[in-house]
Every structure is written in structure tokens, then in C-alpha cells.
Amino acid sequence: MHKLFTLTKNTFTETLRQPVYAIIILSALLLFFISPSLTMYTMSDDNKLLREIGLSTLFLTSLFIAIFSASGAVAEELERKTIITVLSKPVQRPIFIISKFLGVAATVVLAHYICTIALLMSIRHGVLETASDTHDWTVIGTAGIVIAISLLLSAFFNYAYDWKFSSTAIVLIAVFGTLGIVFLSFIDRNWRFNPSENGFNALDIYGSILLLLAALIIVALAIALSARFNIVVTLSACVGIFLLGLISDYVFGRFAEAHLWAKIGRFLVPNLQVFWISDAIYEGSSVPLKYIVISATYALCYTTAILALAVALFQRRQVG
């Protein structure tokens, strides 16, 4: 367990310090900031489109972080031969694979959490559908304070203690973002204590949880592929399986009863449509907690199977 914890911590730290990690999160936060302005011309219910675009941004952000981080966690160590030093400690190969998954999964959870806070803030602000609508200055002020304090403290820690600015800023945004979302849960748009009018919906939180489960499946898949292939092949395969998983019911589901290949494809390719609830948003229906539990069980079983395959692929991989 000590080896597992140490390798997981090192993987988490290395992934957190990667420039692409901070760039993806920064791009996502910018999209969440401008999304209320992008969805005000739908000629129908703009706020439903705002929620769907927000969930799409959240999904793609977690996807890209999962693919880039997981593919580099194993493949780069194989290419640079640093894995020889790790395995000579000695560290069992299954421990190495599981620790890489846990480390990358932790960074994906952190990024997903930050983006979920931004999503809830943008939904709370809403779309200015009429000329009489005004900005929610409670949300804007809270978000501005969170970003300002996080950046100032990151600059201070970078100057005083030589902490890496980008990774420190990400952690501080998560901490102060939590305080900000708790504050908004009790304060309405008129700066009054009114928890019943906080503008948050449990459906959005459920949607975020489901998308996180899908991202963890992609992390496990990228770890398994990078145990045998280089970064380019891993990236291409993960993107292809992701797109195929989004249309799994259309490609495999309708042919599963009549064709063997469709049954095999439906079994092997993860059905990512399970984790996408845009239909519930547009229809205004609720998502029961039972559905979340069933989806989490599906994700757990699929992730475990992929990790078992990753361990099997890595057992006989030449690293010298």
C-alpha cells in the first residue's frame, strides 16, 4: 500500500504540473463564462440550451484531460526509460498500472470538480432572455473574488516558496470555489439570505456525476492502451472509442438481436449514452437516484475489467 500511495501521489503531482492540464481547465472556464451570451438566440428556451452546452463542455474537458494525462502517464515513462528505475525498486507491475490510474483519476476528478462549480455558477446566472433581465451580480462578484484571491495567493507562493504557479492556482481555485458555491447556495441574486431561490438544480449535479463516471472509463481505457502503444495511437484510439460509445445504441443496439458482431460490439464498447441526460433536461423529467447507482455500478464493472486487461497487457511488456 505504501508503494501504491507513493506512485499515485507522484502521478497526481506530475499530471497537475503539466501545462496542457492548466490550459484545458482555463479554456473550459472561459467557455463557461461566455456560455450565457452564446445561448441567448435560440428563439425558445435558452436556459435549457445553456445547461446542455455546459454539460457538453464539462464532458469534453474531462475527456481531453483523461486522454492526454493517462496516455502520457505510462507511454512517456516507457519512451524515456524512467520506468526501469521504478520497476527495479521493486514495484510489481499491477501496482504500477493501478497507481497510474488512481493518480490520473484524481486529477480528472479535481478538474471535473472545478468545472462543475463553474457550470453551476453559469446556470445560476442564466441567460438574459429579455431586455428587462439583469445580470446576477452575486454570481459575477463571487466568481471574480474566487479567481482574484486564487491568482494573488498563487503568485505569492510562487515568489516566496517557489511553488509552481499553475498547479497552485488550480488547487486554490478548487478550495475557494467550494467556499463560493456554498455562499451562493444561501444568498440570492439580491444579496439576501434565501436558500430556496439559489437557482441550483439537482439534475445538473446528477449530470455532472454521470459524466465523471464516463471520464473515469476513458482514463482506464487510455491507461490500458498506453501500456502497449505510443501516445499517438492511444490518443487516436481513445477518441475513436469515445465517439463510437456515444452512438453505441445506433451502431450496435439495433442490430444486437440479429447479428453476432453487433452483440460483441455492444459488449466491448462502453455505452457512453448511459451517462448523457440531455433528454431529461429538455423534457423536464427527473433522474432517480437508482439510475445513478446503476450507472455507477456499470462504470465500476467496466473500469475494473479494463484495468485487468491493462495489467495483463503490461505483464509481458519489454521495458528495457
Region of poorest pLDDT, from 176-180, 276-280, 314-318: 314-318
Which residue type sits at 200? Answer: F
What is the per-residue pLDDT for 2?
Answer: 82
Q: How far apart are the first and last CA of the chain?
A: 26
Q: In the predicted model, is pLDDT for residue 283 greater than 90?
A: no
What is the per-residue pLDDT for 37?
Answer: 79
What is the per-residue pLDDT for 231?
Answer: 78
**In this predicted model, what pLDDT tens digit does every residue of 168-199 receive, in sequence order?**
999 999 999 999 999 999 998 888 888 888 87
Q: DSSP character for 123?
A: H
Q: Is 250 left (phi over 0), alpha (psi -120 to 50) or beta?
A: alpha
- CA proximity to 117, closest of 187, 34, 32: 32
**In this predicted model, what pLDDT tens digit does every residue of 87-141 receive, in sequence order?**
667 778 888 889 999 999 999 999 999 999 999 999 888 887 666 678 889 999 9
What is the per-residue pLDDT for 213?
Answer: 94
**In this predicted model, what pLDDT tens digit does every residue of 13-72 receive, in sequence order?**
988 988 889 999 999 999 999 888 777 666 566 777 888 888 889 989 988 888 888 877
Query: C-alpha distances in angstroms, 212 versus 58, 136, 178, 246?
Result: 9, 28, 18, 15
Region of poorest pLDDT, from 75-89, 208-222, 264-278, 306-320: 75-89
What is the per-residue pLDDT for 44?
Answer: 63
What is the per-residue pLDDT for 84?
Answer: 67
Region of poorest pLDDT, from 43-57, 154-168, 202-216, 285-299: 43-57
- Which of helix, strand or coil describes residue 193? strand
Q: DSSP character for 192?
A: S
What is the per-residue pLDDT for 164?
Answer: 92
- CA proximity to 133, closest of 189, 50, 191: 189
Sign of the CA dihedral running 269, 308, 289, 61: negative
Partners of residue 187 on adjacent β-strands: 193
Partners of residue 193 on adjacent β-strands: 187
Task: Tell me: cis bond preceding 90? Omega within 30 of 0 counts.
Answer: yes
Query: C-alpha distances in angstroms, 294 versus 116, 174, 252, 269, 270?
Result: 22, 28, 21, 18, 14
Query: What mean pLDDT is predicted for residues 280-284?
Result: 72
Q: In the predicted model, is pLDDT for residue 320 greater than 80?
A: no
CB 205 within 8 A of CB 50: no
What is the per-residue pLDDT for 149?
Answer: 97
Which residue type sits at 83? Answer: I
